[in-house]
Amino acid sequence: MPESYNIPFLLSLILIAYAKGDIVYDAQKKLTHPHFGPGRGFFLAFRTLGFSGTPPTKYERILHNVGEMLEDIHYSPKEIDDNFSKEVFKKYLAEVDAEKDVFLQSDIQSLRVFETKIDDEILGKAPIQFVPSVSEIYKKRLLETEAIYKDLLSRPFDFSQDETVSMNYEKMDFPKDAAARQDAWRKRLKLLALERYSDLLDQQEKDKAKQGFVPKSKDQMEKEARDKVMSVMDRVYVRLKFKTNDDDRFYQFVQTIVQSMDPHTDYFPPVEKRSFDEQMSGRFFGIGASLLPTDDGGIKIATLMTGSPAWKSGQVNQGDVILKVAQGNLEPVDLTGFTVEDAVKLIRGNKGTEVRLTLKKSDGSVKTVSLIRDEIVLEETFARSVIVNSDKGKIGYIYLPEFYADFDNPKGNRCSIDVAKELIKLKEQNVDGVILDLRTNGGGFLYDVVQMAGLFIDEGPVVQVKDRDGKPQILRDHDKSVLYDGPFAVMVNELSASASEIFAAAIQDYKRGVIIGSTSTYGKGTVQRNIGLDRNGSFSDTNSSLGTVKLTLQKFYRVSGGSTQLRGVSSDVVLPDLYEYYKIREKDNPDALPWDEIPKADYTTWKYAYDVNRIKRESSDRIKNDQAFNIIAKDAEWLDKQQNDQAYPLSLSKYQDEQKQMRATEKQIETLSKLPAGAELHISILPADSTRLSGDKDRVDHYKQWLQGLKTDIWLDQAVKVVDDMVADKNMVYNK
């Protein structure tokens, strides 16, 4: 599941003050500022590191600085003691060997000498020995398991045997001995081969009618399936043996430690931090090509962005396989075993720098292409709007995929400013109501939530923020004007998180609009701040050579007092959806912080009243009589149960029967999730957006696909009907 990220508004003020010289550090590295009283600063004095007089290693510096940061400024730190050590011990081993098919129980037993010593390593009371010991055993076992899969895939599988394999790794223990590990590998490889064998059988059946068709025997297809699995496994093991190093395993260890505090505290090595910044700004410097994995685990060019460096070169084509990546004149890095995500990190970089790609072309030739990185803007991440023409009027629709802000670029996009622009365009078209779509919006910058809420409400509090020591701070909209005061609805789902939940909660508490969607949103009610680990006297330096910690420092609360943490925001109008039964919300994570509440803020609800109970009732009646939503709810529950059982048949006949049922159910959901022909929504493009349908072909195609998705969206259709009900409410007086 994708996560959301926030930068607290108060801390952004601190950074501004710091830049102005208003913030100073005393000799103990304690942050002081005229507006922040005692107990509100960050105590960042680091302990003396190293053992027996030796200078601290990089690992020791990272681990100890992380430990102190967690103890001193995390919102709700767990005590770093033997119990915490045991928790990290168990989680880390499950991270290193997620499928529990490398280590043996004897390995885990031998490592138990460190089970209660990890806290001492974190606190600087013991040298770092746990991760090096894990790495030593892991590398040894990796060679053993490489021999296992190569041996098993060299012989045919019998797909007539009636047996199953479990993929519920969380409930498994590590294999008790080599024989048990061998059998676990046999079953999992057999499933991988069975999947491919079944696909080959299906494809051959489809190809029978083609001219020149030459059938393959079942033995030939079984071997081809095993060969495909072998190719994938070889690439995986190249990565595990040669691309994943001791640094990677240590960084994974640090990540396990910080995430044991709460799910949203993260550790970023320097390159990871750059990727995070790119995600939040909606822009990056690269070559303008999207990547996909190939069937055998390689990486290929999926699409090219018109006007991008890759497109301009005329030497990069869709379908080219990327073999190597080099930075300027440096030695190229072989991408064998790399994931797409890791390849992207190599290809992106600073503007104006050179990246060289070694490409395998469709004709089999190999070519090296030199490209100069340039700025790439992802328009798909920015706000956009259209008009939905209903039987009762014109409803403005604004899509906001995330709460973005590009602070490094004065002319960069800001979601609050962009939404205001879309509202103005919609008002110019005299819309009767507005829908803001925050479905699957994972959040973003807290400051922009306050600004955006102010577009819809009078002056007043929007959210309350509390650190672990201080009293709640109220973040307010100080602008008495309201940009839009007509009927308003917000669409959400289980993946609407963080900033999305703050906005939805404020709209709901002010009774400003109706929240439409799943029973509840994600439930992330915490605020994070990026803090670099270098000991340079400046906590604001997030581009640290030791990495960066995205640390949970605060919780936010609704103006009505309750937290969105764990519980999320409950929709006023509930629509059945595909994710209701999936365990993907905050409440499903055992390390999530608890729900609590604080006193409500002083605020005045919206000046116009509407009969929310009537709106709920009318929507509920529509849903009860809607066959599509009833079937979707039942199908989604069945699919979730099938996937959560995670026991898969290894006989061909049972596998095919199960897949047939799964595909039929998925097809039914896909069909029902779209409005039928003749019932599609009537979408109008705003005059100011007409240029979206000309110029860059890829951009035009993406925009048209988005429009087509809206036309057939059954959830949007219901949201439009709800806003129609609001418009028809005679008890309300709206001014356009």
User: What CATH number should be reported for the domain holding residue 346?
Assistant: 2.30.42.10
Q: Do 311 and 385 have their domain in common? A: no
Q: Do 227 and 242 have their domain in common? A: yes
pLDDT digits (tens, 9 = 90+) for 185-213: 999 999 999 999 999 999 999 999 898 89
| Cα 327 from Cα 315, distance rounded (Å) | 18
Is 633 within the bounds of a domain?
no
Q: Do 390 and 461 have their domain in common? A: yes
Is 399 within the bounds of a domain?
yes
Q: Do 256 and 292 have their domain in common? A: no
With a cut of 60, say whether residue 20 has pLDDT above it: no
Closest CA to 348 of 442, 266, 279, 252: 279
Q: Do 385 and 372 have their domain in common? A: no
The stretches of 399-454 forming alpha helices (DSSP H) are: 415-428, 446-453
Query: What average pLDDT does range 253-278 have in this prediction?
Result: 83
Q: Which two tokens stand for residue 141?
A: 């076992």
| Cα 128 from Cα 147, distance rounded (Å) | 31
Q: Cβ of 349: how many Cβ atoms within 10 Å?
A: 19
More confident site: 622 or 318: 622
Query: What average pLDDT does range 363-377 have in this prediction?
Result: 85
Of 377, 410, 430, which marks where a domain is finished? 377
pLDDT digits (tens, 9 = 90+) for 579-617: 888 888 999 999 999 999 999 999 999 988 788 999 999
| Cα 31 from Cα 13, distance rounded (Å) | 13
Of 316, 344, 377, which marks where a domain is finished? 377
In one letter, which amino acid is 19?
A: A
Q: Do 248 and 330 have their domain in common? A: no
Rg of the chain (C-alpha set): 28
Question: Domain containing 475 — which CATH number?
Answer: 3.90.226.10
- Summary mean pLDDT of the chain: 86
How many structural domains compose the chain?
3
Q: Do 392 and 467 have their domain in common? A: yes
Query: Crossing angle for the helix pair 82-96 and 130-152, nearest 10 degrees?
Result: 30
Query: What average pLDDT does range 346-375 have in this prediction?
Result: 89
Q: Do 256 and 163 have their domain in common? A: yes
Beta bridge partners of 291: 301
Q: What are the DSSP calls for 244-277, one per residue?
A: S-HHHHHHHHHHHHHHTT-TT-EEE-HHHHHHHH
In one letter, which amino acid is 99?
A: E
| Cα 338 from Cα 355, distance rounded (Å) | 17
Is 607 within the bounds of a domain?
yes
Of 315-324, 565-574, 697-706, where does mean pLDDT reach its minimum?
A: 697-706
Q: Cβ of 54: how many Cβ atoms within 10 Å?
A: 10
Q: How confident is the model at residue 712 (pLDDT cuts 50, 70, 90)?
A: very high
* Residues 6+ positions from 369 with CB-CB distance below 8 Å: 313, 315, 316, 356, 357, 359
Q: Do 339 and 406 have their domain in common? A: no
pLDDT recorded at residue 4: 33
pLDDT recorded at residue 509: 97
Q: How confident is the model at residue 127 (pLDDT cuts 50, 70, 90)?
A: very high
Is 549 within the bounds of a domain?
no
pLDDT recorded at residue 43: 37
Q: How confident is the model at residue 341 (pLDDT cuts 50, 70, 90)?
A: confident
Is 556 within the bounds of a domain?
no
First-last CA distance in the chain: 39
Phi, psi for residue 428 in degrees, rounded to 5: -65, -25
Is 45 within the bounds of a domain?
no
Q: HSE (CB half, 13 Å, CA atoms) of 106? A: 7
With a cut of 70, say whether residue 42 has pLDDT above it: no
Is 2 within the bounds of a domain?
no
Contact 264, 539 (CB under 8 A): no
The total number of residues shown for the chain amounts to 736
pLDDT recorded at residue 1: 31
Q: Do 365 and 511 have their domain in common? A: no
In one letter, which amino acid is 274?
A: R
Domain membership of residue 208 as a residue range: 78-260
Is 711 within the bounds of a domain?
yes
pLDDT recorded at residue 425: 97
Of 121-135, 304-318, 538-552, where does mean pLDDT reach its minimum?
A: 538-552
Q: Do 459 and 578 have their domain in common? A: yes
Q: Do 212 and 141 have their domain in common? A: yes
Of 349, 377, 405, which marks where a domain is finished? 377
pLDDT recorded at residue 39: 31
With a cut of 70, say whether residue 428 has pLDDT above it: yes
Give the H or E element holding residue 90.
Answer: helix 82-96
Query: What average pLDDT does range 306-313 have in this prediction?
Result: 81
